[in-house]
């Protein structure tokens, strides 16, 4: 139940907060809702949803120092009811005369959910429609960046929306599933996405709008928060003048800093994040054994890729390719290499998934299978190559390598090259001097992409021979691929549907428009997914309904159906069988993983789902699990204030490259890299790639090794890493994340960390408040440690309820509590010069707020810093109170503000 709000009925399902966030008290509630009491009393909005609505409305009554209205971030997990919460915020503002609202989401299908949510909370009079009317405009992020081709009054939808809002717009703008706008601040040389820039610009154009960010995965990494400029964490009169300063500070301190950011946002009243309890949910990792037939196919594929790599290198040398061209070529090569072997990894598990799905359906359950890629692009290519006909299911893996060879092998098209050089192709003769002089402008000209140099008749001869040789190698590679293609697995999605009984038994919710099916006579055909009475635009919704009605007991979802759609064993639907959610293909990003998991675990369900993660025995596939595990930790830290919030997915053991610094592993690791990073230069000498010390790339490259070698090398790597981690823990160099004082062998006596006390105040000898301001304080926490506890933290006497007095000793922790972000610069100035400082976060329920553990040698200088900045803190609070006094409508209902 809410900590400060006292209205509303209990949520229908148990909802929890992480230990770190739950230890942070939200601000006092001074805003009084206008939503009718009848809606509240009937439970149309639960107490938890009303809490989010209240704090959002309260935050919207404040302004940032730059004059923009403050925004609110709803980070509730899937199933807590973000849709109804958003509908409640819109309804609240509608009742106060703000009749226009914008609701952005990821799919047009979710418009029906928006209408349902408004209807369910009693706001039937608020219409959801397109432009030019009052009410709610529901739009997708893709439409936000759309441009008109008809040349009407408005060139873009963005301009049209601005006009509809009008000047001084102070209505609600909801960015639902706001993680779609995350790439405003990309890594490396990539450019910001149009969606991210449009989301940012709309906020800048409408400074008085009441902005709500809503997503269970709003920021899987701190740099993904760039579009959340209305939170007021960075900018004018904050410790971080620019977003880049905020990113540098947080990334320097690692996951612990992300946890502090989340706790600080809740403390300030700009953020809320709850998630459904995982009580009743089961998690299982099913390690799928490899058949000998599969191992043989995989090893053949490895040998072909080794051959391809050598041919690419030789051809690039023959063509005298420039460095820029080589960089592009190898980028394409390794990208295709990773995708090819990922498809092979997925294929190794199809038979097991089919077996499990059939068993679960027979046992009275229903199955949801999650994957990411549909392989539609390769299917359409094969269809075009075959003149509209297919002889067999299309192999996506084959398509990846074939496309790489055809488009990126450094062997220019002879017809175009000879035409460029003035060579007569049929006779393949050397151009005469007169031909050369007739076309002087072509002297020294390069063919774009192949970077071939032609500067003299002799060089033309050389180029001609080189092209012939390169073309021959390209042809040989394509012939070898055709031989291998007989063994390569078919498209996973088509094979799954075929093995599970065809489209009449499987509900497919993906973004593809057609599929390949096998007929009764054994022939293979391509058909459209659309049906006579169901257009393809609403086909996913129709398929979902068939699954929820029990007409189909197996559903397959891709990324296209991984946001907003509800597939849980809902009490209101006919199909109340227990859901078994099988993850066949792990998404690349943590937010996509969380979104997909959230389809089957939601509110109002009869039974909680079973999650089954299928991981093959192929060592390289552990790499894909490691990527998601790493990002799940970051996501949990940032969106729930605790990296452990997502470890319940049971993937944390696959996080190989987030536990210790790469430099720590390097001494043990460098001997292995020579095996996978060797290349030959033009002279034939072996050399190492420049990124040979990159653990991530090492894990990618081992996919291209034969199965036995790959597994042996990976076992050595993981054993080595385990030894390094154990040593790091001994030396205190291992990032343990949140430290729960009082768990394990540490018995903490109840402590009262009260604010606004004089410096040096001591409570029962357990806590000292060294310096106090309106929003932050530093205390010394005395912890009594029972030395008779065993290494797992269990004391026999204590477990029996008896008092243990054996070897008691006292340990002191210096903890900085409160709004730590507001004094981040001062904190960095003190901590950075201290060598070996490893700042950790601690959470202890008996302390009123979580904070940072400060090394003992930093306490005195930090006291001085905070004492001098205390006046600034008081002034900031006074400014906040002045801003709140500008809104008597709400404040008049809060006599004790």
Those residues with Cβ within 8 angstroms of residue 790's Cβ, 6 or more apart along the chain or in another chain = 745
How many angstroms separate the CA atoms of 795 and 817, rounded?
Answer: 30
| 423 class by beta-carbon count within 10 Å (0-12 exposed, 13-18 middle, 19+ buried) | buried
Beta strands 135-140 and 100-105 are: parallel
The pTM score is: 0.72
Cβ 674 vs Cβ 689: under 8 Å: no
Mean pLDDT of the region 691-696: 65
Angle between helices 157-165 and 194-205 (to 10 degrees): 20
Q: Are 725 and 740 in contact (CB under 8 A)?
A: no
Q: Looking at residues 115-125, what average pLDDT do you find?
A: 91
Nearest alpha carbon to residue 286 among 597, 650, 587, 628: 650
Q: Is the pLDDT of residue 640 over 50?
A: no
User: What pLDDT score does 595 carry?
Assistant: 72
Residue 891 has pLDDT above 50, yes or no: no
Q: What is the mean pLDDT of residues 384-398?
A: 80
Query: Average model confidence (pLDDT) for the chain?
Result: 76
Tokens of 270: 């700009």
| Confidence category of residue 691, pLDDT binned at 50, 70, 90 | low
Please report how the helices 457-485 and 414-421 are oriented relative to each other, as an axis angle in degrees rounded to 10. 170
C-alpha to C-alpha distance for 510 and 206, rounded to whole angstroms: 36
Quick: pLDDT tens for 774-824.
Answer: 466 677 666 666 676 655 556 666 666 666 666 666 666 777 777 788 888
The region of weakest confidence among 635-639, 705-709, 764-768 is 764-768
Q: pLDDT value at position 616?
A: 87
**pLDDT of the residue at 349:** 92
73, 94 Cβ separation under 8 angstroms: no
Instruction: Report the pLDDT value the prediction gives residue 373, as an integer from 0 to 100.
Output: 80
Can you tell me which residue has the tokens 């007991």? 553
pLDDT at 352: 94
The yes-or-no verdict on residue 113 having pLDDT over 70 is yes
Q: How far apart are CA 826 and CA 776, in angstroms?
A: 13
Range name among 67-71, 114-118, 376-380, 807-811 with the lowest pLDDT average: 807-811
pLDDT exceeds cutoff 60 at 637? no
Mean pLDDT, residues 618-626? 71
pLDDT at 893: 40
Average pLDDT, integer, range 189-207: 89
Query: Could you give the residue ranges of the DSSP H alpha helices within 386-450?
Result: 396-408, 414-421, 433-438
The pLDDT, as a whole number, for residue 438 is 39
Among 500-504, 512-516, 588-592, 721-725, which is the least confidently predicted range?
588-592
Is the Cβ–Cβ distance between 51 and 87 less than 8 Å? no
Q: For 15-27, write each residue's pLDDT tens digit.
A: 888 777 887 888 8
DSSP code per residue over 313-369 = HHHHHHTT--HHHHHHHHHHHHHHHHHHHHHHHHHTTHHHHHHHHHHHHHTT-EEEE
pLDDT for res 428: 42
Looking up tokens 């006046």 gives: 871
Binning pLDDT at 50, 70 and 90, where does residue 154 land?
confident
Mean pLDDT of 484-498: 91
Assigned token pair, 354: 């089919």
Across 134-146, average pLDDT:
89
**pLDDT for 123 beyond 60:** yes
| pLDDT reported for residue 423 | 53
CA–CA distances in Å: residue 802 to residues 311, 466, 478, 792: 74, 86, 76, 19
Instruction: Examine the pLDDT at 209 and tell me if it is beyond 90.
Output: yes
Average pLDDT over residues 175-198: 82
Q: 636: pLDDT confidence band, cut at 50, 70 and 90?
A: very low
The CA distance from 628 to 217, in Å, is 13
- Two tokens at 255? 């996951």
Q: Please, what is the angle between helix 292-318 and helix 396-408, to 10°?
A: 10
Structure tokens of 318?
């023959």
- pLDDT for 362 equals 95
Q: Give the closest residue to 92 by CA, choosing from 207, 172, 3, 209.
A: 172
**Can you give the pLDDT at residue 676?**
61
Task: Check residue 419 and give its pLDDT.
Answer: 56
Phi and psi, residue 518, nearest 5°: -100, 135
Which of 125-139, 721-735, 780-794 is most confident?
A: 125-139
pLDDT of residue 724: 76
Q: Contact, 776 vs 813, CB < 8 A?
A: no
Confidence of residue 689 (pLDDT cuts 50, 70, 90): low
Q: DSSP assignment, residue 805?
A: -
Residue 435 has pLDDT above 60, yes or no: no
Alpha-carbon torsion (189, 194, 195, 196), positive or negative = positive
Q: What is the mean pLDDT of residues 641-647?
A: 44
Confidence of residue 880 (pLDDT cuts 50, 70, 90): low
- Residue 292 has what pLDDT? 94
* Residue pLDDT, tens place only, 2-59: 989 989 999 988 888 877 788 788 888 999 999 999 999 999 999 999 999 999 999 9
CB neighbours (10 Å) of residue 744? 16
User: Which domains are present in the chain?
Assistant: 15-276 (3.40.50.10810), 744-780+810-890 (no CATH)
Contacts of 788 (CB under 8 A, 6+ apart): 795, 796, 797, 804, 806, 807
pLDDT value at 543 more than 50: yes
Highest mean pLDDT among 250-259, 560-569, 625-634: 560-569
pLDDT of residue 874: 54
| Helix (H) / strand (E) containing 136 | strand 135-140
């Amino acid at each position: 139940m809410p900590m400060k709000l006292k209205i509303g009925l209990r949520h229908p399902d148990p909802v929890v907060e992480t230990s770190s966030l739950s230890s942070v008290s939200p601000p006092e509630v001074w805003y009084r809702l206008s939503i009718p009491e009848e809606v509240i009393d009937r439970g149309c909005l639960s107490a938890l949803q009303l809490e989010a609505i209240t704090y959002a409305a309260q935050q919207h009554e404040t302004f940032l120092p730059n004059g923009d209205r403050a925004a609110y971030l709803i980070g509730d997990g899937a199933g807590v009811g973000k849709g109804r919460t958003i509908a409640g915020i819109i309804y609240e503002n509608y009742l106060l005369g703000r009749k226009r609202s914008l609701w952005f989401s990821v799919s047009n299908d979710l418009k029906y959910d928006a209408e349902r949510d408004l209807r369910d909370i009693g706001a039937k009079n608020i219409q959801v429609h397109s432009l030019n009317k009052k009410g709610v405009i529901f739009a997708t992020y893709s439409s936000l960046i759309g441009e008109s081709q008809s040349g009407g009054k408005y060139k873009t939808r963005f301009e049209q929306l601005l006009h509809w809002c009008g000047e001084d717009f102070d209505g609600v703008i909801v960015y639902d599933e706001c993680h779609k706008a995350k790439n405003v601040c990309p890594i490396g040389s990539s450019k910001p996405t149009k969606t991210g820039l449009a989301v940012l610009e709309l906020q800048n154009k409408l400074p008085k709008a009441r902005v709500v960010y809503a997503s269970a995965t709003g920021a899987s990494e701190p740099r993904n928060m760039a579009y959340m400029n209305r939170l007021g964490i960075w900018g004018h009169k904050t410790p971080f003048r620019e977003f880049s300063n905020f990113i540098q500070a947080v990334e320097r301190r690692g996951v612990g800093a992300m946890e502090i950011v989340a706790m600080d946002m809740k403390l300030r009243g700009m953020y809320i994040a709850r998630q459904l309890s995982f009580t009743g949910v089961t998690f299982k990792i099913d390690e799928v054994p490899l058949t000998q037939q599969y191992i043989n196919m995989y090893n053949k594929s490895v040998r072909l890729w080794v051959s391809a790599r050598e041919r690419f290198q030789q051809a690039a040398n023959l063509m005298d390719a420039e460095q820029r061209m080589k960089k592009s070529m190898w980028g394409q090569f390794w990208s295709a290499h990773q995708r090819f072997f990922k498809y092979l990894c997925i294929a190794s598990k199809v038979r097991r998934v089919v077996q499990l799905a059939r068993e679960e359906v027979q046992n009275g359950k229903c199955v949801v299978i999650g994957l990411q890629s549909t392989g539609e692009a390769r299917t359409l290519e094969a269809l075009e190559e075959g003149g509209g006909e297919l002889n067999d299911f299309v192999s996506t893996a084959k398509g990846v390598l074939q496309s790489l060879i055809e488009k990126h092998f450094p062997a220019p098209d002879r017809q175009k090259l000879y035409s460029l050089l003035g060579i007569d192709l049929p006779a393949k003769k050397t151009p005469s001097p007169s031909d050369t002089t007739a076309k002087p402008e072509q002297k020294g000209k390069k063919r774009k992409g192949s970077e071939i140099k032609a500067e003299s008749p002799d060089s033309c001869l050389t180029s001609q021979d080189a092209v012939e040789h390169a073309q021959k190698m390209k042809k040989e590679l394509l012939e070898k691929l055709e031989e291998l293609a007989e063994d390569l697995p078919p498209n996973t999605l088509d094979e799954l549907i075929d093995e599970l009984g065809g489209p009449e038994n499987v509900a497919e919710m993906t973004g593809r428009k057609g599929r390949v099916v096998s007929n009764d006579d054994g022939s293979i055909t391509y058909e459209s997914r659309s049906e006579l009475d169901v257009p393809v635009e609403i086909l996913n919704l129709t398929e979902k309904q068939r699954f929820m009605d029990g007409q189909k007991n197996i559903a397959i979802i891709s990324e296209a159906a991984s946001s907003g759609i509800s597939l849980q064993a809902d009490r209101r639907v006919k199909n109340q069988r227990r859901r078994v959610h099988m993850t066949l293909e792990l998404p690349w990003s943590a937010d996509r993983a969380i979104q997909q998991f959230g389809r089957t675990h939601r509110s109002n369900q009869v039974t909680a789902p079973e999650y089954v993660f299928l991981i093959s025995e192929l060592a390289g596939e552990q790499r894909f699990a490691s990527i998601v595990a790493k990002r799940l930790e970051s996501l949990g830290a940032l969106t729930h204030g605790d990296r452990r919030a997502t470890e319940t997915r049971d993937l944390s053991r696959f996080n190989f490259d987030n536990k210790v610094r790469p430099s720590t592993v390097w001494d043990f690791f460098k001997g292995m890299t020579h095996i996978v990073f060797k290349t030959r230069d033009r002279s034939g000498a072996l050399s190492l790639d420049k990124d040979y010390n990159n653990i991530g790339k090492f894990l990618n490259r081992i996919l291209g090794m034969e199965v036995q070698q790959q597994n042996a090398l990976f076992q050595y790597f993981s054993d080595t890493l385990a030894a390094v981690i154990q040593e790091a823990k001994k030396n205190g160099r291992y990032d343990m994340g949140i430290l729960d004082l009082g768990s394990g062998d540490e018995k903490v006596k109840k402590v009262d960390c009260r604010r606004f006390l004089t410096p040096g105040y001591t409570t029962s000898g357990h806590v000292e408040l060294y310096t106090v301001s309106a929003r932050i304080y530093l205390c010394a926490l005395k912890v009594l440690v029972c030395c008779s506890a065993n290494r797992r933290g269990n004391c026999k006497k204590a477990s029996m309820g008896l008092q243990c007095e054996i070897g008691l000793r006292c340990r002191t922790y210096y903890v900085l509590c409160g709004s730590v972000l507001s004094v981040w610069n001062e904190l960095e100035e003190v901590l950075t010069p201290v060598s070996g400082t490893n700042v950790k976060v601690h959470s202890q329920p008996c302390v009123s707020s979580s904070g940072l553990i400060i090394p003992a040698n930093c306490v005195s200088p930090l006291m001085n810093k905070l004492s001098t900045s205390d006046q600034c803190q008081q002034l900031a609070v006074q400014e906040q109170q002045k801003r709140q006094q500008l809104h008597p409508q709400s404040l008049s209902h809060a006599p004790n503000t």
